[in-house]
Amino acid sequence: MSDSNGFEDLVVETPGVDFRVHRSVFTDERYLEREKKTIFTNGWLYVGHASEVRNPGDFITRTIVGERLIMCRDTGGELRVFFNSCRHRGALVCREPSGNTARFRCLYHAWTYRNSGELVAVAERASFPEGFSLEDNGLESPRFEVYRDFVFLTFGADASPLQDYLAPVLPYLDSIVDQSLTGDMEVLMGSHLYRMGGNWKLIVENSLDGYHGFAVHQTYFKYLAGRGYDLDGGLEGVGLSLGNGHAMLRYKAPFGRSVARPWPAMSEQARQRVETIASELVDKHGEEKADLITKTSKNILIYPNLLIIDAASLQIRILDPIAVDHTDVSAWCLAPVGEEEELRQHRIQGYLEFLGPGGFATPDDNEVIEACQEGYGQVRGIEWSIVSKGMGKEVPSMTDEEQMRGFWRQWQHDVAGTNEAAAVTGGRQG
């Protein structure tokens, strides 16, 4: 092909027959560079949850694909996202992970900005040339949009509106937020900020992989059985490629859930509360939607790097590619505002038993991811990974790989786009 840019044919599909991914996509720096210029520039990337900056003046700082950002609520109550960099010569204007402030004062020469971004004080201002004005030199914002307290940004100019981008996954995102009868959810204190020695896409695959549980997480399920869970029904459900790269597992599982399925250790009172919430949700949303909110477990990928794991607990997880073979994972527990103490306690317990750097399951996933990364080496040996499980089936199950294929098709489309800036937005595929 005359217009080949070297980014085609990394994901190869023969419909119904074969689906393979070239392993260099996990090992070759060039592809990470390409991803940064396409997917991570033009896609919508999760920044944080509005509950993290609930009060005027609240701020958090966060690094997203190498960019330092501030998310804050200004004194007037409006949510803001800024590049955390001084307009003068670039120092961070905020060096705390979180806090509350009316102003961001750069440490270098003390330029001072309101928490709404305006530059309000410049030392020795008269020494700057005539054309220099405070108004033109406020903190810069990336383009950002908020959907039901989920804050996303894009570094590209051409992205379609957030809601269009999210459209295929919106009913599922809604089903997360609607765990709260008022739609008011909050991120709990205490973040899991850790690292895995593997390419970010390996973690995407693993988070959507319903095939590995029996092999990798035996010790977790054995532990649950020992704690009185009835695991006979097992996990059952489907893997879905939703479109725009979004994908999910949708299944029934034996985990306890604070919105639907009591834990064995729950008090009678808490059980009743769970039942009450479930019936209130039916009243509000109808049987079908309520079932999706309460009894259905979901591992959701919001393309490219946001995962919402609604299983034994509820987790928001983002993947930040810091190198071709290392990924920073940041994760938070999400819960309805005002949740009863015992339900909250179980939500956290369910979270920690499975998830995070000290959980009974996530560390084994970490091992899997590193084993894959190490197995690839420099791809001088086996070149292709097989991702064909469930191809040709009318309804691929959660232990198939259709949901991963949905991710990979979008990934291939985006990195192969001839125009870097338009790769993500220039027509999506399902």
Partner 1 sequence: MTEMATRGPALADLETTHEIQALLNYEAELLDGWQLTEWLTLLTEDCCYLVPATDAPDSESPQQAVFIISDTYAQICGRVERLESAMAFVERPRSRTRHLITNVRVHEPVPNEYKVYSNFAVYRSRRGVSHVFVGEYRHLLVRSSDGSLRISERRATLDAEELRPQGKVSFIL
Which of Fe ion, partner 1, ligand FES, none does 367 bind, CB closer than 5 to 8 A by kind?
partner 1
188 binds, among ligand FES, partner 1, Fe ion, none (CB under 5 to 8 A by kind): partner 1
Asked whether position 219 contacts partner 1 by CB under 8 A, the answer is yes
User: By CB under 6 A, which span of 104-112, 168-176, 235-243, 341-349 interacts with ligand FES?
Assistant: 104-112
Asked whether position 370 contacts partner 1 by CB under 8 A, the answer is yes
Which of 21, 196, 290, 308 forms a contact with partner 1 (CB under 8 A)?
196
Helical (H) or strand (E) element with 153: strand 150-154
Q: Can you tell me which residue has the tokens 């520039």? A: 41
Binding segment for partner 1 (CB under 8 A), chosen from 117-125, 129-137, 188-196, 229-237, is 188-196
Kindly tell me which residue out of 76, 286, 358, 377 binds partner 1, with binding defined by CB under 8 A.
Answer: 358
Residues in the chain, overall count: 430
Among Fe ion, partner 1, ligand FES, none, the one that 178 touches (CB under a kind-dependent 5 to 8 A) is none
3-state secondary structure of 429: coil
User: C-alpha angle 329/333/338, rounded to 5°?
Assistant: 160
Two structure tokens written together for 114: 């309101």
227 within 8 A of 411, measured Cβ to Cβ: no
Angle at 239 between CA 246 and CA 47, to 5 degrees: 30
From 121-129, 160-168, 367-375, 415-423, give the range in contact with partner 1 by CB under 8 A. 367-375
Indicate which single residue of 106, 324, 404, 424 sits in contact with ligand FES (rule: CB under 6 A). Answer: 106
Of 365, 400, 401, 414, which lies in the binding site for Fe ion, with binding defined by CB under 5 A? 365
CB of 149 or CB of 365, closer to Fe ion: 365
Please report, for residues 80, 84, 104, 137, the alpha-carbon distance to residue 115 in angstroms, rounded to integers and kept in the order given.
8, 12, 7, 14
Measured from the CB atom, the residue of 110 and 193 that comes closer to partner 1 is 193
The H-or-E segment that residue 353 falls in is helix 341-354
- Give the CA distances from residue 200 to residues 66, 116, 162, 172, 214, in Å, rounded to whole numbers and listed in that order: 14, 34, 23, 23, 23
- Tell me if 315 sits within 8 A of 258, measured CB to CB: no
Q: Is 353 in the site for Fe ion (CB under 5 A)?
A: no
Tokens of 191: 């973040």
Out of 39, 50, 86, 308, the residue judged to bind ligand FES by CB under 6 A? 86
Nearer to partner 1, 171 or 234 (CB): 234
Instruction: State the minimum distance, in angstroms, from the CB of residue 318 to partner 1.
Output: 14
**Mutual orientation of helices 341-354 and 268-285 as an angle, nearest 10°?**
90
Residue 3, C-beta contacts closer than 8 angstroms, at least 6 positions apart: 418
Q: Note whether 109 binds ligand FES by CB under 6 A.
A: yes
The answer to whether residues 26 and 376 touch, using CB atoms and an 8 Å cutoff, is yes
Report the residue number, 365 or 400, with the smaller CB distance to Fe ion: 365
Residues 222-281 that bind partner 1 (CB under 8 A): 222-223, 226-227
Take residue 92 and report the two structure tokens written for it: 């961070």
213 lies in the binding site for partner 1 (CB under 8 A) = no
Q: Which is nearer to partner 1, 248 or 274 (CB)?
A: 274
- Binding of partner 1 by 309 (CB under 8 A): no
Instruction: Please choose which of ligand FES, Fe ion, partner 1, none residue 109 contacts, taking the beta carbon within 5 to 8 angstroms, the exact cut-off set by kind.
Output: ligand FES
